[in-house]
Structure 1
Amino acid sequence: MILFAVFHVTDQQGNKLSDDGIAERIQQSLGPRARSFRSLRRSVGVQAAAEHTTIELTGRDRPGLLSEVFAVLSDLKCNVVTAEVWTHNSRMASVVFITDEATGRPIDDPDHLSKIKKLLLYVLKGDRDKRSANTAVSVDSTHKERRLHQMMYADRDYDMDGADCGSASDRSKPLVTVENCVDKGYTVVNLRCPDRPKLLFDTVCTLTDMQYVVYHATVIAEGPEAYQEYYIRHTDGCPISSEGERLRVIHCLEAAIRRRTSEGIRLELCGEDRVGLLSDVTRIFRENGLSVTRAEVTTRGSQAVNVFYVIDASGNEVKSETIEAVRQEIGSTILRVKEDFYSKSPPQEGVRFSLGNLFRTRSEKFLYNLGLIKSCS
């Protein structure tokens, strides 16, 4: 099967790409050396890689959990090089890259790794979580965000039974329809939600991890909303065959979109990196009644460049004086409040939609004329 696709892309600010190396890096990533992704098998994994040791965590989310995780790593003389944390539907998943505090090298001592896993598992389980009772050593190293999708999918964060879904989640709920196109033998997935960076990545990764093949697709991202249409079949060549499977696809796509639609106030920390910085920062969040809903931790040379999304741990609106107190304690010059650029107006509820009824972009016209896009309507 030959893949033919046309993409019109900009940077996150909507500007034309000026870096000539981006296209080259994309070509390299699509070459024969591109690596596949293996499914998650355990809830806590530790793996030695070339430059760091990778830790994977999944568990029930609760206020102060991230603070406890980073405190354990700090106590065990682990330096966090980079990390990403997602929360959704009362679940948490995290991928953390660490090195030995003393040597700056990957941690490969079996006893040390065993102790790390044991203590982190103890923190994750707490006294309520029954899903995170297993530990294992990972085999493959993968893209952090792709791995997080796999981890949360394996942890069934899309299962809404008994979920604590507040108003913030309702506001960000996408509209997803799944219908069979009987005469063509495809299942057609239509999706409409506020546009944001990496939305296409999130939806395609989810369909792939659910063992579906995308044969034709149309993506329109103009203005505040995004519209996506996928013609899919299962890897066995069959379209969706049951109501249960149809609902599962809808719930999984909704979850994939909402994992990155962060709730809370965006705090950006940029300053000199040091051992124990994350432990101290997240402890201050916890002591001031803040809970982290998502985090991106990066080290660039000697600088720490971190992003945290925080909410009030009691479920109340975060007070401005609380944020200012946190900034004063951490350092107002290195911790700044930023508007969440993912927050956009949701699509209207109850509106049926189809990309076949929308205006066609230049790339869509091109694919349509080639016969690669054909509406079922």
Structure 2
Amino acid sequence: MAVSMASLSCKGLKIAPTNQPIAPLASGSVAGSGFLVPVPLKLRSISSISLKVQGTASPTAVEGGNSDTDTVPVPKVIIDQDSDPDATIVEITFGDRLGALLDTMNALKNLGLNVVKANVYLDASGKHNKFSITKASTGRKIDEPELLEAIRLTIINNMIEYHPEASSQLAMGATFGPVVPQEVDVDIATHVKVYDDGPDRSLLVVETVDRPGLLVDLVKIITDINIDVQSGEFDTEGLLAKAKFHVSYRGKPLIKPLQQVLANSLRYFLRRPSTEEESY
């Protein structure tokens, strides 16, 4: 059944499809599946930084961290569109090996973004680096999935540069590289679930193997069946991608038949031999 793609409403995402092929990630562009993202190279100042980690030195030394231990932690990158109405929250964790990530913040500024607040804190799971990010051109949070994917891949590439031991655990690293193989042989099953989440929206939860361009493609699949994406969170945990999207249809929650159509569409797109049949 042919369907048209809907624009995304409220504080949700906007998507602009193109038929141009994608080149590997380079300065001013981002790798994704079926999309080419021009990125303005602008340098902006960091408005406010609160770094609660002592003993930081040069950016390279800070980002290098401690890589001498035998156990390599799972790298995590979380893009949160729900917590702050005015900014996109990005959180990076890699055990206790991450410092202030000054070079990462500079790389984000080169995407035309402002890092308006940064915070580094420690807990039992390791060192967490949280950034509040806005678009330099508007001062508002990021709502384009292409730019959100650019942020994610920029952070992952920077992590691989300073922590090559994480390379095999990230989709842009040794496992896939910048070009995703046609058949992904990773033992991660796909799960797709849709829940009721209030009087005017539903919650879509997707877990699958990560790859470059996944965030953009998920949003395109959802909007191709005229479902609006209002907000969400995209977590990269090693080779596992976890996406949570608040979705609606004409301002209402998804009825059960539409939930099944959405789940089946995503399952078909994300299909793998190990994908569970009953994943919705």
TM range, normalised to the smaller chain? 0.3 to 0.5
TM-score between both structures, scaled by the size of structure 2:
0.37
| Max Rg structure | 1
**More contact order relative to length (CA 8 Å, sep ≥ 6):** 2
Q: Name whichever structure is richer in helix by fraction.
A: 1
TM-score between both structures, scaled by the size of structure 1:
0.28
